[in-house]
Structure 1
């Protein structure tokens, strides 16, 4: 690789670091070309790429991308996983590959997430988190539950009102409730109240003031 090719590689790696939400450094010793191809296919589903690069070029790229924490991980054969999509899904794909090989291949060295340094244990913990798709599904379920309950309650209220109105209509049609009739007033034990209810009017006595007081505006 000549100088121009190295400069191009450094620029590409630096750009990948900047564009990634997470970067995982992995020891790739012992992995075959066929296994790399298989892993890349699984990582592609999480919008992640697996790249084997020389440590010297990665160091220069880390300087260019202000990713100083990556430089401490560049000891021995190192491959980088650049994650632009679901970090949990990408970490899980690598962790599943580790399990399928008895835990001997692709051990995590550490990495970055949103600019913060990660150690190997933290990346392993991330691999055990639900994927972004699963989290979205759970969130939709939580949001939809109250709405579903509200819809059921409203349907119940509407149904109850319809039943009540139907009962009133049936009583009117049967004559049990006369159409337009007002409810009968309960009899009062107070004769004066009965007189007022009967609409009896009395003339004001002579000398009395039959004017009414108009309320003043506040």
Structure 2
């Protein structure tokens, strides 16, 4: 019979996972306490959270909501919640892995905006900039196009006012 503490942890984990659309499952084994602490801080700075739980609890929590993750739940696992900035948190995980000899944490898979993804998709997300930098790029591109459009309109307006004045004089 399951103990009360595990039932409470399972309930809390299910509630947490219901509230987010994006999370990653990672293997963190091999990180020193300092590296793990820094990784948790980097994730928190990006608006995420790292939850270490037993694979059985993770499997049960995901079973009814997000599908079957039993294929990737081997060895120590942690769930990294990334609802605010999925690319930024994927980058923080990737940077930490590149920053040590063992390549840890190792990404196993996850859910991005409600869709299950594999490691390749998470790595592509990590290569993108943060959500804010991507939004800033989009605003820059849109503003340059709008600026060009306004310039064209002003040029046509000037052309029309130059060409329209003689016609008005001829009608009088």
Q: TM-score, normalised by structure 1?
A: 0.65
Q: What's 2:79 paired with?
A: 80
Deviation sequence 1:160-200 (CA, Å, 0-9, x none):
x7xxxxxxxxxxxxxxxxxxxx99xxxxxxxxxxxxxxxxx
- Supply the distance in 2 between the matched residues of 1:67 and 1:13 (Cα, whole angstroms): 13
2 CA distance for matches of 1:67 and 1:73? 13
Give the corresponding residue for 1:178.
Answer: none
Distance 1:117 1:19 in 2: 16
1:97: Cα distance to partner? 0.4
CA separation of 1:149 and 1:44: change in aligned 2, threshold 3 A: same
Map 1:118-137 → 2, pairs under 5 A: 118-137=117-136
Q: Deviations over 1:21-72 (max 9, x none)?
A: 22211111111222122111111232211111111211221124x2223232
Greater gyration radius = 1
Structure 1 CA distance for aligned equivalents of residues 46 and 16 of structure 2: 15
The answer to whether the 8 Å contact 1:69/1:112 transfers is no
Q: 1:153, 1:56 → 2: CA distance?
A: 63
Instruction: Provide the residue aligned with 1:143 in structure 2.
Output: 142
Unaligned runs of 5+ residues in structure 1 are: 162-181, 184-218
Which is richer in helix?
2
TM-score by length of 2: 0.80
Corresponding residue SS for 1:90: helix
Partner of 2:97: 98
**CA–CA distance in 1 between the matches of 2:121 and 2:152?**
45
| Aligned 1:1-218 pairs, distance under 5 A | 3-64=3-64, 66-152=65-151
Q: Take 2:111 and 2:88, find their aligned partners in 1: how far apart are those partners?
A: 15
Q: For the Cα contact (< 8 Å) 1:110–1:123, is it kept in 2?
A: yes
CA distance in 2, matches of 1:101, 1:139: 34
More relative contact order in 1 or in 2 (CA 8 Å, sep 6+)?
A: 2
- What CA distance in whole angstroms lies between the structure 2 residues aligned with 1:63 and 1:150? 52
Range that drifts further, 86-95 or 107-116: 107-116
Distance 1:48 1:71 in 2: 23
After the TM superposition, which of the residue ranges 115-124 and 96-105 deviates more from structure 2?
115-124
* Contact kept in structure 1, 2:25 and 2:107, CA below 8 Å: yes
